[in-house]
Amino acid sequence: MTRIFSGIKPTGHLTLGNYLGAMRRWAAEDQHRADALFCVVDLHALTVDHDPARVRRLSRQAASLLLATGLDPEVCTVFVQSHVDEHARLSYVLECVATDGEMRRMIQYREKAARERERGGSVRLSLLTYPVLMAADILAYAADEVPVGDDQAQHVELTRDLAVRFNQRYGHTFTVPRATRPAVAARVMNLQDPASKMGKSDDVGPGIVYLLDEPDVVRRKVMRAVTDSGRDIVHDPQARPGPANLLEILAACTGGDPVRLAGGYTSYGALKKDTAEVVIEALRPVRERHRELCADPGRVDEVLRRGAERARAMARPTVDAAYRAIGLLPPL
Ligand code: AQP
Q: Could you report the predicted ipTM of this complex, rounded to two decimals? A: 0.96
In a shared domain, residues 25 and 143: yes
- 164 vs 69: CA distance, rounded Å: 34
CATH number of the domain where residue 82 is located: 3.40.50.620
Mean pLDDT over 16-25 rounds to 96
Give the catalytic positions in this structure: 112, 197, 200
Ligand-binding site membership of 272 (annotated) = no
Q: Are residues 312 and 277 in the same domain?
A: no
| Average pLDDT of the residues in 305-317 | 98
**35, 106: one domain:** yes
Question: Are 218 and 275 part of one and the same domain?
Answer: yes
Asked if the structure places residue 199 within a domain, the reply is no
Is 188 among the annotated ligand-binding positions?
A: yes
Residues with CB under 6 A from ligand 1: 8-9, 11-12, 15, 17-18, 21-22, 148-149, 151-152, 186-188, 197-201
Torsion angle defined by CA atoms of residues 228, 234, 239 and 240, in that order, rounded to the nearest 10 degrees = 30
**Do both 38 and 114 map to the same domain?**
yes
Residues 141 and 177 placed together within one structural domain of the fold: yes
Ligand 1, atom 35: closest residue by C-alpha: 149
- In total, how many domains does the chain have? 2
Neighbours of 229 (CB within 10 A): 4
Cα 150 to Cα 186: distance, rounded to the nearest angstrom: 5
Residue 10 annotated as binding site: yes
- For 233-262, how does the pLDDT look when each residue is reduced to its tens digit (9 = 90+)? 999 999 999 999 999 999 999 999 999 999
Is pLDDT above 70 for 204? Answer: no
Is residue 73 a part of any domain in this protein? yes
Instruction: Give the tens place of pLDDT for each residue, 77-118.
Output: 999 999 999 999 999 999 999 999 999 999 999 999 998 899
Domain containing residue 39: 3-182+297-325
Sign of CA dihedral 198, 219, 65, 183: negative
Q: Would residue 216 be called left, alpha or beta, if left means φ above 0 and alpha means ψ between -120 and 50 degrees?
A: alpha
315, 211: one domain: no
Which run of H or of E encompasses 313? helix 297-325
Q: Are residues 29 and 120 in the same domain?
A: yes
Instruction: Identify the CA nearest to 37 among candidates 313, 280, 325, 239.
Output: 313
Residue 173 within any structural domain of the chain:
yes
Question: What is the DSSP-derived secondary structure letter of residue 81?
Answer: G
Whether 168 is in a domain gets the answer: yes
- Residue 330 in any domain: the answer is no
Q: Are residues 79 and 172 in the same domain?
A: yes
Average of per-residue pLDDT values in the chain: 95
What's the 320 CA to ligand 1 centre distance in angstroms?
Answer: 30
Q: What is the CATH number of the domain that holds 282?
A: 1.10.240.10
Q: Measure 131 CA to ligand 1 centroid, in angstroms.
A: 14
Helices 241-254 and 268-294: angle between axes, nearest 10 degrees: 50
- Atom nearest to 202 CA in ligand 1: 29
Do 107 and 13 lie in a common domain?
Answer: yes
Same domain, 301 and 281: no
Per-residue confidence band for 185, with pLDDT thresholds at 50, 70 and 90: confident
Residues 136 and 97 in one domain: yes
278 alpha carbon – ligand 1 mean position (Å): 21
What average pLDDT does this structure show over 269-295?
Answer: 97
Residue 189 placed within a domain: no
Average pLDDT (131-146) is 98
| Residue 67 is assigned to a structural domain of this protein | yes
Residue 188 lies in a domain: no
